[in-house]
Structure 1
Amino acid sequence: MSSTDVHKETEDSGPSGYAAARLRLLTEGAQSGPPRRAALAELTDDWLTGLFAAGAGGLRGVSLVAVGGYGRGELSPRSDLDLLLLHDGGDSKAVAALADRIWYPVWDLGLALDHSVRTPAEARKTAGEDLKVQLGLLDARHIAGDLGLTAALRTAILADWRNQAPKRLPDLQELSAERAERQGELQYLLEPDLKEARGGLRDATILRAVAASWLADAPREGLDDARRRLLDVRDALHLSTGRATDRLALQEQDQVAAELGLLDADTLLRQVYEAARVISYASDVTWREVGRVLRARAVRPRLRAMLGGGKPTAERSPLAEGVVEQDGEVVLARAARPERDPVLPLRAAAAAAQAGLPLSLHAVRRMAATVRPLPTPWPAEAREQLVTLLGSGRPTVEVWEALEAEGLITHFLPDWERVRCRPQRNAVHIWTVDRHLIETAVRASEFTRRVHRPDLLLVAALLHDIGKGWPGDHSVAGEIIVKDVAARIGFDRDDVLVLSTLVRHHLLLVETATRRDLEDPATVRSVAEAVGSQGTLELLHALTEADALATGPAAWSSWRGSLVADLVKRVAAVLAGDDPDEPEAAAPTAEQERLAIEAVATGSPVLALRAQTEPPAEEQPPGDPEPLGVELVIAVPDQPGVLPAVAGVLAMHRLTVRTAELRALDLPDGVEGSVLLLNWRVAAEYGSLPQATRLRADLVRALDGSLDIAGRLAERDAAYPRRRGVVAPPARVSVHPAASRLATVIEVRAQDAPGLLFRIGRALEDASVRVRSAHVSTLGANAVDAFYVTGPEGAPLPGEEAAAVARKLEETLRG
């Protein structure tokens, strides 16, 4: 159907014709993007014009005005209609009747309507009191009626806005900052609000308003395309969901990607992030310019008086060769020649970050347009300036974003393109891959005083996840990439080897510390062999902590930090020449012996809860402190089903298990019987810990079979259904035969859920294996648990038997 046919159908059939034409335009038309939004606005204009003409009769001094997004001609499929019925204050009853003749047909079609009826004076007064109203009126567009009335209002609103801009723009900036605090940054959110999040459509509209003030203007390059992309995504979101929503929810991203003809949801998110990054950067530059102009206006009269009416000259302070500070920004010196000085962008960036100042947009664009490639390998100055930039702490982020906005990062590091704006579909990660790498460098800058080679730490922090842009294990891919990048940057062969080792094993310490038995010599030796030297271990320890802190609050805690520190201490001893002794069964403490004797005497479990001691304040890792939890010691007469019974009872009481150890205890001479001792560290999911007496009572019932743990956990799980449309990947169970000489290590990777440890324990019990210890690690929604198991005689399982146990356990968890 042609545009002419659509409009003719609307005219011929009234509201029902408009509805049919609108549906045809949205579902059958070949148009999309700006043409479809413009066609929808034009179609709506024609319909409303007809409603206005039918209701106005001979009424004069009235006009119908589109404002906001409709005023800009940007109607998405489920957009509100923002309308103002403007009148000159004449026949109020006739105006009210006209309003009804327009509003009610709109409502009857189920369209959302934001409407008002005002005189020009009322409209100006309301705009002066409400910034949202004023922003909407800046986009006022005449639809029907008295064109002169509409034009006069537009002229007055623009004049008011320009006259009031020095006062109103700071208020608008403050409101924008508050909204960003509430909604987050669009360029990093997994479920972003396309309109309200920072870098979204609301900010794009605000940039238009700032430009209309004539006080400052936004950098225009790429801005229109970014705004168009977000509008296209919102159109597809409305069409695929049938709802007026701006929230790009996870379960709807595949549909939206398909609607736009994109490969997958990750491609969609990456395009959204790229658009948001353009708008966010433009906002930063624009608000900085607004501040500069307002400061200059405040200072200029005083300076002119001091200079006798002459024009003041901006002061320029040298920062580095070819780089100066001017008006609170870092700019190029007049003698700077970026076309002859390929190191200049890195030197300017390092100077800006060291001074805590932003890079001038003009300077960055000039360097991007003229800079020559660096030779391979880089000269020493270029490498040193990169390290200086990375070691400057929090100011590095803003400077890096300025370089990236103009393509200078990929100019120096071409491999960066694969991680730029790349989403991470993991609730633990709060940043995209590229921003996470910069955040890791920022965190690593805090640790440069505790390592012998700060430069290697900072470069490893920048590149540790560079392999995430490639298929396969990102650590393996990253090792290959870093060898090339480090050599190109100018590091020698030994340094390249250290950097590649750091990237290859950047997860080694935290994964080993939280998932393996640190008392097992095989664990410590394997880490020592991978690391190779004391110096590399020192760097890897700092990188591990920086990486975890930059990931998000769920990735690091006092508990994890203490486990990693313990592992580092043991590995350092091995690298220093000490050979770890085979572990011997630890003698029971007096309390454990007392509990064991009581358990034998009573024939039932006995337990004790004891608060876990926090490490000294100076040993606490940076970030939000996390309690180490409490130590739960349980003595149980030896019998089948102890592990699943204990795990099930703890799950019922909403206790999270962090570490778990189970072993048979030798009793004192003269005491008959066999006792299992469980030494676990637990923490409450929320609220306070349950009383030990309640835990014991439920454990007794679980062991004698009178407590249906599986049923209770199933009831609770049913009461809290998982989010619609989110399907967790299946569980994976693997055997690590070389991880220990004393036991077989079985590792379980699964979706974390109440009762997971109970299900695993019951499956292992059914397989007739004994659990020597368990090492539980939970990151967001993912659980990675390692179990050291033996046969009934206490020896590791034969290979085929271990594989069979793993397969059975995997089937159980997938069932």
Structure 2
Amino acid sequence: MPASLDITPPEDSGFTPEAEAVIEDRRSILSRRRLLVALAEIAERQPAGPEQRSSVLALLKGALSDGRAEVRRRFDEGASGTATVRAESYLVDQLMRVIYDHVGQRLYPLANPSTGERLCLVAVGGYGRGELAPQSDIDLLFLLPYKLTPRSEQVVEEVLYFLWDLGFKVGHATRSVAECLRLAKADTTICTALLEARWLWGDQDLFRELRQRFAKDVQAGGGARFIEAKLTERATRHKRFGGSRYSLEPNIKEGKGGLRDLHTLFWIAKFLYNVDDIAKLVERKVFTGAEVRRFEKAQNFLWTLRCHMHYRAARADERLTFDMQKDLAPLMGFTAHAGLMDVERFMKRYFLVAKEVGDLTRIFCAAIEAEHDRRSRFRLPSLRRRRKIDGFGLERDRLTVTSGEVFAEKPIEMLRIFRVAQKHELDIHPQALRWITQNLKRVNKALREDPAANELFMEMLASKHDPETTLRRLNEAGVFGRFLPDFGRVVAQMQYNMYHHYTVDEHTIFAIGILHAIEQGSLANEAPIASEVVHKVLSRRVLYMAVLLHDIAKGRQGDHSLLGAKVASKVCPRFGLSAGQTETVAWLVLHHLAMSDTAFKRDIDDPKTLQDFADLVQSPERLRLLLVLTVADIRAVGPGVWNAWKAALLRDLYWRTEALLSGGLAAQSRDARVKGAKDILKEKLQESGWSTKDIAAHLRRGYPAYWSGLDVEIHLRHARLVREAENNAAPLTIDTRVDRYREATEVTIYAADHPGLFSRIAGAMAVAGASITAARIFTLRNGMALDSFFVEGANGGPFDQPGKLARLSAAIEQCLAGRLRPLQELEAQKSPIPSRLRVFKVSPQVLVDNKASRNHTVIEVNGRDRPGLLYQVTQALTKLNLIVKAARIATFGERAVDVFYVQDALGGKIDNKVRLENIEKKLLAALEDGDCIPAKKAAKAVTAKSPAKPQSRSLAKVVPKDGPKLAKTGPKPVRGSR
């Protein structure tokens, strides 16, 4: 054997004893001894050259394939993620050593190597830890004593060629010991890689030299700088991947609470304490034995999940997408239970693990800060010399206690420390938080029934000093869910749909933060009415408690609004609310979707819709409370959900209802409102120079519903448009106007009315890429249709680019002339539904209500959103000889919810039972897209949950208990081209 190779016993793994212990029956994965024998036989049969290399490569590929199959078999049969990544690393180790020996001994042998020709193969990065996920890259360092020699260069190149030919993705560097140290001092990433360096093969003395000099030149005295760099790097990474550990499609490696956060703890521990196993931190009093077990349990869960993801995707896929979540839930051992889907239970477990990672990080940072006396980055100079605040110690500008016994003896202090921190805008010392975590069992029934404790909680909830941050701290520490067990049930509870962006607890805390911002006037531009009326509510505590409890029953079997109202009735007295306040909170929770349902899914120009909503609300105080709650709820759903269109609809509903409750609208009969509208328009037209004859002719054109349903500005625009069209004898007139109030584009069409007009227009708009969000449809006495559509772009916002508007007008004209067939055009434009959307199954549903309007039958259709859906639905309505008089179009994530106010050909409601059944049948056929669950089978199928469960309470006065029920969902009227 050439002297240049320093070979250890044949089957040495190179792992620490702790790592080696998790690899069972290593030789069945790959026996290096047998592989070396086989290589020797090839070398005897074939001389060095291309044929020998092909034979060697085939042998290595076979060994790699068999080894991976064995590791996969073990994983599929229940091996842990930790054991799997260790086994993968062991497999690559053995293969690497065989390749290195083959290259160094047979291809480039050197009988008498010089000192400068020594070479060492080193594993770095995650591979250096001995952890290798099934599709991960491998990181290698070819370590030299000095500069690269020709022979060493040949060995390095040939080893890399073999690895590349085997299909490995290799990150590699060839450096001398001096170069490694110089770069480690300048670059934290290189420093971290070398920190995890593990000897693989070759000259061990060279590796020992690197380790010794690294410890002396880099580690010694560099702890504070390294820690600061790694924590800054972690903060930057968190920001890059969304900033929240509760993202519904998390990156399990790089995201907050993922594997990389655990790695960061390991790196810091290794740098400071030279430990290769996290369990050794118990001796250093950094972690307790229980905390080490929590670390290992969290890491194993994440490794198991990551292995499943790599095997499923056959690549290094780290993002846990919706479609992947559904596939992996049963593989991770989760089943549907207690009203929760298997995927929801699985993701709840993931988020709890991510929270655990955060807890461990906080504990670890507290320990190293105490040992290394690092000053806080959140220092408040004015408080430097103060040692106590309200009975709590002040250490580095953070509240703390002398020991955990303080919380054990007086559990109420676990709440009071958060209140004092909130009051004085201070942070809480991580060691104090650690002691709180260790005493969570003290947050029991006795504390929950303590009036002083409940008052402290209410002060934090309704405080004018940033309640969101305080409640999030309470939640992170585990106190929130223990003190309010109903809230504990929704901690880390995801909602498996594309509408909600956060877990229920995160959504709730965000909503409280938004309510606080509304109160502070920070959202005056985005929500001006809510920002104004919030200061008129009689009880802030009622409002804050309603926001806290509005989704408290999510994830339970049954209607979360009804169940939540029962929770409110139970817990509000505990927090000191009076019987009247408790009733108001329960009402708000029960009806927290009523205002959005009415504004976004009903025609508020219909007098009965407005009257029914006013009958439900009953008082201006409840109207104010419901408006602010609705705004906070919608804005907390996720980025981009709130927009000017929603704001405008809610404002219109609020002002009209307030006027009705105060007697303003009720005092006027319909005839009086029609006369008033005509008189105002007449005056405006006279000022514009219209003749008395032209004014009279125009005023005769509209039916009463037209005059009572629109404001004077719209009447004036319509009058000018109609006059121009009549003067030019134009068969079709199209006018477009950007409505900045609603951030949508209004498209007004004046054309001869005929059956199917709405459907054709909808088809043309879909072809042009416009998304209809609302429609106002009128037929005038002269037989002409005067229809207004509010449209947005596919991603929301005004559809206002000149080229797009021109294309839209051309598409409408061609479609009405019969030269454009929308269905064929949409089919030609159709692109495959992304896999992450296909995973959501929305059961087609048709709901008919004959009591919501005095003059119209209201039809609500629910289905999975897709291009052309609105056209297909309205085409079905046309074939059913139904006339659409008004429409509300909305999208909630993957779910489309469209509502139509229709009449039969004679202008009446549809009340024939057989005909109603036929309408339902035809619309269901239009809704099904070939990838949805048929409605009749929906009850038996496991489907994606809608943003909220069907019920009718939000319009209780519209639909009697024995009448048809309307689906209740959260609003999102942003639709792709339909």
TM-score by length of 1: 0.88
SS at match of 1:738: coil
SS in structure 2 opposite 1:786? strand
Whether the 8 Å contact between 2:738 and 2:800 is mirrored in structure 1 is: no
Paired residue for 2:94?
46
Q: Residues of 2 paired with 1:48 and 1:393: CA distance? A: 62
Secondary structure, counterpart of 2:272 in structure 1: coil
Alignment of 1:16-165 (within 5 A): 16-28=62-74, 30=77, 31-57=79-105, 61-89=118-146, 92-159=149-216, 160-165=218-223
Task: List per-residue Cα deviations over 1:463-499 (Å, max 9, x = no partner).
Answer: 2111112123322222222222323434333222211
How far apart are 1:48 and its partner, in Å?
A: 2.6
2:706 corresponds in structure 1 to: 586
Structure 1 residues 172-187: aligned runs within 5 Å: 172-185=230-243, 187=245
Which residue of the partner structure matches residue 544 of structure 2? 458
**Which of the numbers 270, 273, 280 marks the counterpart of 2:351?**
273
Q: Is the 8 A contact 1:657 1:681 kept in 2?
A: yes
- Give CA-to-partner distance per residue, 1:422-446, whole Å, 9 cap, x none: 2233333222111111111111123
Q: Secondary structure at the match of 2:554?
A: helix
The answer as to 2:582 corresponding to 1:496 is yes
Asked whether the 8 Å contact 2:138–2:168 carries over to 1, the reply is yes
Partner of residue 452 from structure 2, selected from 361, 381, 389: 381
Task: Quote the residue 1:756 is aligned against.
Answer: 869
Q: Is 1:252 the counterpart of 2:324 in the alignment?
A: yes
Aligned equivalents of 1:217, 1:121: Cα separation in 2: 35
List per-residue Cα deviations over 1:532-583 (Å, max 9, x = no partner). Answer: 4332222111111111111123332222122212222333344446674675
**After alignment, is 515-524 or 275-284 more displaced?**
275-284
Identify which range, 349-358 or 398-407, moves more after superposition.
Answer: 398-407
8 Å Cα contact 1:515/1:775 also seen in 2: yes
Map 1:288-687; keep pairs closer than 5 Å: 315-320=385-390, 322-332=391-401, 337-370=406-439, 371-373=442-444, 375=446, 378-392=449-463, 395-448=466-519, 450=535, 451-576=537-662, 580=666, 583=670, 584-587=704-707, 589-596=715-722, 599=725, 602=729, 604-614=731-741, 628-666=743-781, 673-685=782-794
Distance 1:376 1:794 in 2: 64
Identify if the C-alpha distance between structure 1 residues 173 and 787 changes in structure 2 by more than 3 Å, giving closer, same or farther: same
CA apart distance, 1:195: 1.6
* Structure 1 residues 251 and 591, CA gap change in structure 2 (3 angstroms): closer
1:233 Cα offset (Å): 0.8
Distance in 2 (alpha carbons) for counterparts of 1:424 and 1:524? 32
What is the deviation of 1:814?
A: 0.9
Contact 2:376 2:397 in 1 (8 A): no
Displacement of 1:662: 0.7
Matching residue of 1:308:
none
User: Is 1:225 matched up with 2:340?
Assistant: no
Q: 1:46 to 1:786 in 2, by over 3 A?
A: same
**Residue 12 (structure 1) aligns with:** 34
Moved more, 336-345 or 403-412: 336-345
1:623 — aligned with what? none
Which SS does the other structure have where 2:133 is aligned? Answer: coil
Please give the per-residue CA displacement for 1:722-769, whole angstroms capped at 9, x wherever unaligned: 767535423322112321112111112233333332222211111111
Q: Greater RCO between the two (CA within 8 Å, min separation 6)?
A: 2
**Is the Cα–Cα contact under 8 Å of residues 249 and 322 in structure 2 kept in the other structure?**
yes
SS in structure 2 of the partner of residue 142 of structure 1: strand
Contact kept? 1:377, 1:489, Cα under 8 Å = no
Is the CA contact (8 Å cut-off) linking 1:390 and 1:442 kept in structure 2?
no
Is 2:826 the partner of 1:804? no
Q: Distance in 2 between matches of 1:681 and 1:96?
A: 68
Amino acid at match of 1:71: G
After TM superposition, give the deviation of residue 296 of structure 1 in Å.
Answer: 5.2
In 2, Cα distance between equivalents of 1:386 and 1:269: 29
Whether the 8 Å CA contact 2:568–2:585 is kept in 1: the answer is yes
CA distance in 2, matches of 1:158, 1:807: 76
**Residue identity opposite 1:565 in structure 2:** R
* Contact 1:647–1:757 under 8 Å retained in 2: yes
TM-score normalised over the length of structure 2: 0.74
Distance in 1, Cα, partners of 2:151 & 2:465: 62
Which moves more between the two structures, 60-69 or 568-577? 568-577
Question: 3-state SS of the aligned residue for 1:157?
Answer: helix
Change over 3 Å in CA distance of 1:492–1:218 after alignment to 2: farther
Partners of 2:737 and 2:746 within 8 A in 1 = yes
CA contact (8 A) 2:243 2:256 kept: yes
Larger deviation, residues 498-507 vs 699-708? 699-708
Shift of 1:193: 2.0
Aligned amino acid, residue 132 of structure 2? L
For residues 699 and 91 of structure 1, the distance between their equivalents in structure 2, rounded to whole angstroms, comes to 72
398 and 150 in structure 1: CA distance in 2 versus 1, 3 angstrom threshold? farther
SS in 1 for 2:253: coil
- The one-letter amino acid of 1:202's match is R
Q: Is the 8 A contact 1:554 1:780 kept in 2?
A: no
For 1:605, give the aligned amino acid: L
Q: Does the residue aligned with 1:338 lie in a helix, a strand or coil?
A: helix
Alpha-carbon separation, structure 1, partners of 2:657 and 2:448 = 35
Distance in 2, matches of 1:341 and 1:376, equals 10
**Residue number in structure 1 paired with 2:934:** none
Task: Identify unmatched segments of 5+ residues in structure 2.
Answer: 1-22, 37-59, 106-110, 274-283, 336-341, 520-533, 671-703, 708-713, 930-978
Cα 1:214/1:168, change in 2 over 3 Å: closer
User: Helix, strand or coil for the counterpart of 2:553?
Assistant: helix
Q: How far did residue 90 of structure 1 move?
A: 7.6
Rounded to whole Å, the distance in 2 between the matches of 1:218 and 1:772 is 70
The structural deviation recorded for 1:3 is 1.2
Q: How far off is 1:127 after superposition?
A: 1.8
Change over 3 Å in CA distance of 1:394–1:283 after alignment to 2:
farther
Q: Match for residue 253 of structure 2?
A: 195
List per-residue Cα deviations over 1:288-330 (Å, max 9, x = no partner). 887898885799xxx9xxxxxxxxx98445443x434431212
SS in 1 for 2:656: helix
CA distance in 2, matches of 1:376, 1:534: 37
Answer yes or no: is the 8 Å Cα contact 1:592–1:635 preserved in 2. no
Q: Secondary structure of the equivalent of 2:135?
A: coil
Whole-Å separation in 2 of the counterparts to 1:51 and 1:691: 61
Alignment length, in residue pairs? 784
Paired AA for residue 575 in structure 2: I
d(CA) in 1 for partners of 2:235, 2:767 = 43
Q: 1:64 to 1:806 in 2, by over 3 A?
A: same
Summarize the alignment of residues 666-745 of structure 1 with structure 2, pairs less than 5 Å apart: 666=781, 673-685=782-794, 688-690=801-803, 695-718=808-831, 725-745=838-858
Superposition deviation, residue 405 in structure 1: 3.8
Distance in structure 1 (CA, Å) of the matches to 2:830 and 2:147:
65
Residue 259 of structure 1 deviates from its aligned partner by 3.2
Q: 290-299 or 332-341, which moves further after superposition?
A: 290-299
Letter in 1 for 2:303: L
1:330 & 1:426 partners in 2: Cα distance? Answer: 40
How far apart in 2 are the matches of 1:82 and 1:217? 33
Query: Could you list the per-position Cα deviations for residues 166-214 of structure 1 after superposition, in whole angstroms to 9, with x for gaps in the alignment?
Result: 3344343333333222222462233322222232222222222223343
Aligned-partner Cα distance in 1 for 2:443–2:412:
9
Q: Is the 8 A contact 2:443 2:479 kept in 1?
A: no
Aligned identity (percent) is 28
How far apart are the structure 2 equivalents of 1:90 and 1:678? 80
